[in-house]
Amino acid sequence: MTAVDTIRAYHDELIAIRRDIHAHPEIGFEEHRTSDLVAAKLAEWGIEVHRGVGGTGVVGVLRRGNGAASIGLRADMDALPIHEVTGKSYASTHPGRMHACGHDGHTTMLLGAARFLAEHGKFNGTVNFIFQPAEEGLGGAEAMLKAGLFERFPCDTVFGMHNRPGLPVDKFEIRPGAAMAGGAFFDITVHGRGAHGAWPEESADPVLAAAAITGALQSIVSRNVKPSEAAVLSVTCLQAGHAYNVIPETAQIRGTARAFKRETMALIEANMKRLATSVAAGFGATAEVDFRLLFAPLVNDEAETHAYADAAAALVGAQNVNRNGPAVMGSEDFSFMLEARPGAYINIGNGEDSAPVHNDRYDFNDEAIPLGAGLYATLVERKLSAGY
């Protein structure tokens, strides 16, 4: 009998936990109710609980035997500022907030693994259950690291998991090396000289400069980034002025940049600043660039990727584990933990009919809970098997 079979015995309880979290979504660093629930469940199962790690983060510690080896398992807890329209009986009770990325399911899967390992686990060493706040661009992983996560809770390796809409529930995908892009947000403020719309010659038009900068930025990927390196630069917002007959003083450009290497992100930033300032100067204006790296590229350790895939194959069969899954331009701040410790990040299927993440119709598939929890538990028992 596998860990999945055992966890299915209390699947209904885990579904109730997941739906309770779903109904009470909390934005990053505000996960007080969720943290309370997580801490209470861990304590109920006899797991040592540590609160307030990096804000609202929770770490559970479970030890067996005298082994020195340790492993970290991480789940994210925060919701998104999206209004839910699923119509589910357990839909968000807070208008304008919902679990549109499945973090309610991720938290529940890790709780399921914690219960199994506390009640049935056969391993020799230490498991750290890391419940992270504020994954959605607010810096939760870095906050936990700055709070001494791996100094207080040593981990030889660390592992994470995310659901993937469109992938069948009983399948997993992973890849060694760069698996998710680093992500940055940028703001460019163009300062010009305003004037009446009838006398443009008296202006240094920031709107015209901003439009030219927006076009010039597209040359970074096509002319500065090597064709062999993937990168994306998207301007997603251009704002200026309020009146039909007034040339404004300023214009704002906002957007995102993505790449699979930190060096490529630095190249994009340097060229963005060069282009924005020089193009603005050509129109008699000036430009300020704020480029913020929110997510490092997520890079899976090759050996730990194989170990994770092997554990998944032991549960669902090798034919249901894609060991060379796609690299994606989406970002994930678990990447910062993987920069600090070797480990890997795997995708679990959320069903072929699932709405995409970050969508107001999205819902986590409860059928995935035993599989995700079982994979975490199986990975622990395989990696901390000394003495058993």
pLDDT of residue 1: 86
pLDDT of residue 95: 97
Cα distance between residue 283 and residue 286, in whole Å: 8
pLDDT of residue 125: 97
H or E stretch covering 12 = helix 11-23
pLDDT of residue 388: 46
Token output for 228: 């062999």
Q: Which residues of the chain have pLDDT under 50?
A: 388
CA atoms within a 13 Å half-sphere pointing along the CA-CB vector of 161: 33
CATH of 3-179+297-383, one of 2.70.98.60, 1.10.150.120, 1.25.40.80, 3.40.630.10: 3.40.630.10
Helix pair angle (32-44, 103-120), 10° resolution: 20
Q: 228: which residues sit within 8 A by CB, 6+ positions away? A: none
Could you please state the CATH topology (level 3) that the domain comprising 182-295 is classified under: Alpha-Beta Plaits (3.30.70)
SS3 of residue 90 by DSSP: coil
Contact between residue 105 and residue 357 where contact means Cβ atoms under 8 Å apart: no
Contact between residue 266 and residue 292 where contact means Cβ atoms under 8 Å apart: no
Q: Can you give the pTM of this predicted structure?
A: 0.95
Average predicted confidence (pLDDT) for the chain: 97
Contact between residue 374 and residue 3 where contact means Cβ atoms under 8 Å apart: yes
Domain boundaries, the chain: 3-179+297-383, 182-295
pLDDT of residue 149: 98
